[in-house]
Structure 1
C-alpha cells in the first residue's frame, strides 16, 4: 500500500539518523575516560578503535530502543502538524491499521535485540575484557602500569614508580625474577615483532641468594633482560560472568541449574532479562503512537519526555528484577512485561474514549506547573 511505503520511508530515515546520533553520543561520552586509560599505550588510536568496536553492541542495544520510539513518535508528530495524520483518519484508515508499519519495524528491532544480547554483546564484552587484561599485562606497553604489579611471565613480576614522558622510560623499577631481585633507577621497555619484551635496566643493583647461604649483590650500569611472551590467547581471563555468555553457553548453565534445583536460577534470569529487551520492542511502537499523538490544538514535549523516561525506567527495573527475582525469574519478568503492556493498553483506551492527544494533554496539565517551579528555583539558585 502506498501509505505503508510512505510511513516506512519516513520512519526509517529518522530511525537511522537517531540511532547513529545516540551511538555516537555514547561513544564520545567514554572517549575521555578511555584516553586516560590509554595514555601510555603503544598505538593508542588502534587500541581506542578496538575499544569502541567492542562497545558497539552494548550501545546499539540501547540505541535501537530509543531510536525506535523517537522515530515513530516524531514521524507521527510531523504528520499531525502538517495535517496528514488527520487526512488518514478522515479517509477511514483506523489507528490499528496505521500501526502495522511501526509494529513491523518493532518486530525487526526485537530480532536485532535478540541477536545483540545473545551473541554480539557477550562476544564484545569478552573481547573487551581480554583487551583490558592484555593492556594491564603490558602487551601494549608498560607505561600505563606504573604503581602496579605486572606479571611479565610465569617467573617475572615488575613494578615502577612513574613513567617519564620525555625519555619514555620507567623510573625506579623493581623486578622479581625467580629468586633474583633487581632494582634500577630507570628502564627502557621495547617489543620485537613477535611481541617479546626487551627490558634495558640502567643504574641498578641485583640481589640473589647464595647456595651456601646469604645473598650475592651486584651493581650494574646497564642490564638487558629478554622475556619471551606467552601466547596472548592462553592468558585471556576465563570469565564466568553470565552477561559474557552467549546463547549456546547460557543454555547448559540453565540446564545445570534445573538439574541441581538449588536456590537462585541466575542463568535463567539472565536469559529472561535479555528477552525483556526484545519484548520492549514489541510494545514500543504502540507507546510511540500513544505519546506522539497531538491534541487538536497545541503541542508539548511532555509525551516524548515521558516516553524516554519510560524506556530508561524499564531498563533499570529489568536490571533490578534480574537480581531481585533470581529465584523466580519467569514470574518476575512476566509481571514486568504485563504491567508495561497493560499501561500502554490503558493509554490506548483513553485515547479512543477522549480523542487523539488526550494522554499528551493529561501529562501536560500535571507536569507543567512542577517543571516550571523547579526551573524557577534552579534559576534563582544559579543567579543568587
Structure 2
C-alpha cells in the first residue's frame, strides 16, 4: 500500500506544481506590463516593479493553489482512468475512499498554507503594495525629472531641462522659475547644470553655469538682470505626505483583526464589511477540502472515452463558485444579507453537489456524472459537423 501512496504522490505532484507555476507566471506577466507602464509614467526606478510584483505574489498564490490542487488530483485520476490502472486498483479491493488518502494529504497541507497566505501574508503584502504605489505618485522613491518637460517642485518652483547626458550628471538647456514666500520671483536660464547633495536632506543644490538670472519683485520698478558664470541655486524638496496606516481597506486586515472588528467596529457598516471579508476567506479555504472529491468525480472519464470535458467543466465550476462567493461577499458588505448566510449557504449547496457527484462515481454501479454532459456535447458536435458542409455547399452555389 505504501508503494501505491508514493505512486499517487508523484502522479499528483507534477500537474499540481506545474499548474501552480504556470498560473503564477501568467498572472505575473499580465500585471508586469501594466506595472512597467505605471512606473514609467510616474518616473520611478525600474527596481520598484520587482518589489511590487513580490507583494502581489501572495495574492496570486491564494488564487492559484486551489486551481493547482484541483487540476493535480483531476489529471492524476484521469490518467489512472484512461490507462486502466484505476480498474486494476479497484479490482484488488482499493476503494475511492482509500485512493483519496494522498489527495487529502495534499489538500490539508495546501489548505494550511493557503490559510496562512490569505489570513496573514496577503493583507500585509497588499498594504506594502499600496504603499509603493503611493510613494511613486508622491515622488518619495526618487522619481526622475523628465527631460523636455516642465517639472513642478511643490507650487513655487518649475524646472525644465532640454538635454541630459551621462545618466543625468551633465544637464544642459536649463530653465528655472521660483517664487519665494516674500513675493520675489526668480527666472533663470543656464547653458549647463548639475545637482549636488547637501547636509540638509530636504534641500539640494542646483549648480548652474553660463546663464542669466532675472529677479523681479513688486518693490522693483524694473526687473534686475544678472549674468553669471557659476551660480548655486538651492532647491527645497517638497515634503512628501505620510502613507496611511494599515487597514484603510478590509483586504489589509488579518483574520484575527477582521474577527475583532466584526464585533467591536464603531459602525454597523464596518462590522458587516469585516464579517463578510472574514467569512469569504474562511469559505475559500474550506472549499479546498471539497476539491479532491470534485476532481475524482470529473476526472474519471466514461469507459472508452478520452474526452477532456471533465477538466474544462471542473475549472469552470470552480471559477463560477469563486465568483458567486465574491458576489455574496459584496452583498454581505452592504448589510443586505447576513454574511454568515450569504457565504455559507452557497458553500453548503456546492458541497452537496460535489458529494453527490462523488457518491455517484464511487458507489453507484455505472455512475458517471460527466457522462451526460459528454453525450450532450457529442450530439452538439455531430449537429455542427453536419451543418458546416451544408453551409459550405450553399456558399459555393
Measured against the shorter chain, the TM-score band is 0.7 to 0.9
Deviations 1:153-180 (A, max 9, x none): xx65767899978796799877777566
Q: Secondary structure at the match of 1:226?
A: strand
1:219 Cα offset (Å): 6.8
- 1:1-384 correspondence to structure 2 within 5 Å: 1-39=2-40, 41=43, 43-44=45-46, 46-138=47-139, 139-143=141-145, 198=204, 200=206, 224-227=233-236, 235-238=242-245, 239-257=247-265, 261=268, 265-326=272-333, 327=335, 328-351=338-361, 352-355=363-366, 358-368=368-378
C-alpha change, 1:291 and 1:43, in structure 2 (3 Å) is same
Displacement of 1:26 after TM fit?
Answer: 0.9
| DSSP-derived class of the 2:111 partner | helix
1:63 is paired with a residue whose SS is: helix
**Distance in 2 between the 1:354 and 1:215 partners?**
104
Q: Does structure 1 conserve the Cα–Cα contact (< 8 Å) formed by 2:19 and 2:68?
A: yes
Q: Which runs of 5+ in 1 are unaligned?
A: none
How far, CA to CA, are the matches of 2:250 and 2:121 in structure 1?
A: 14
> Could you tell me whether the CA contact under 8 Å between 2:115 and 2:285 is conserved in 1?
yes
Q: Which whole-Å CA distance do the structure 2 matches of 1:62 and 1:50 have between them?
A: 20
- Partner-residue secondary structure (3-state), 2:235: strand
**Greater alpha carbon shift after TM alignment, 199-208 vs 75-84:** 199-208
Do 1:109 and 1:278's aligned partners in 2 also have CA atoms closer than 8 Å? Answer: no
Query: Secondary structure of 1:295's partner?
Result: coil
Check whether the contact 1:270–1:322 (CA below 8 A) recurs between aligned residues.
Answer: yes
CA contact (8 A) 2:215 2:225 kept: no
SS for the counterpart of 1:107 is helix
1:31 Cα offset (Å) = 2.0
- The 1:8–1:131 alpha-carbon spacing in structure 2 relative to 1, beyond 3 Å, is same
SS of residue paired to 2:290: helix
Q: Distance between the aligned counterparts of 1:134 and 1:372, measured in 2?
A: 59
Query: Aligned in 2, Cα 1:184/1:249: closer, same or farther, shift over 3 Å?
Result: farther
Count of aligned pairs: 369
Quote the residue 2:394 is aligned against.
none
- 1:197 positional shift: 6.5
| Cα contact 1:350–1:359 (8 A) shared by 2 | yes
Q: SS of 1:345's equivalent?
A: helix
| 1: CA distance, partners of 2:150 / 2:255 | 36
**CA RMSD in angstroms, aligned pairs only:** 4.1
Equivalent pair of 1:188/1:201 in contact (CA under 8 Å): yes
- Displacement of 1:200 in angstroms is 4.1
CA contact (8 A) 2:44 2:142 kept: yes
Find the residue that maps to 2:234 and give its secondary structure.
strand
User: What displacement does 1:319 show?
Assistant: 1.3
Offset of residue 145 of structure 1: 12
Distance, in Å, in 1 between the alignment partners of 2:176 and 2:45 is: 23
TM-score, with structure 1 as normaliser:
0.79
- Label 1:142 to 1:270 Cα distance change in 2 as closer, same or farther (>3 A): same
DSSP-derived class of the 1:112 partner: helix
Q: Secondary structure at the match of 1:224?
A: strand
Equivalent-residue separation in structure 1 for 2:68 and 2:53 (angstroms)? 20
Contact 2:145 2:151 in 1 (8 A): no
Change (3 A) 1:96 1:141: same
1:163-202: CA deviation from partner (whole Å, max 9, x where unpaired) = 9787967998777775667777899896859976747498
TM value normalised by structure 2: 0.77
Instruction: State the Cα distance separating 1:88 from its structure 2 match.
Output: 0.9
Cα distance in 1 for partners of 2:222, 2:91 equals 97
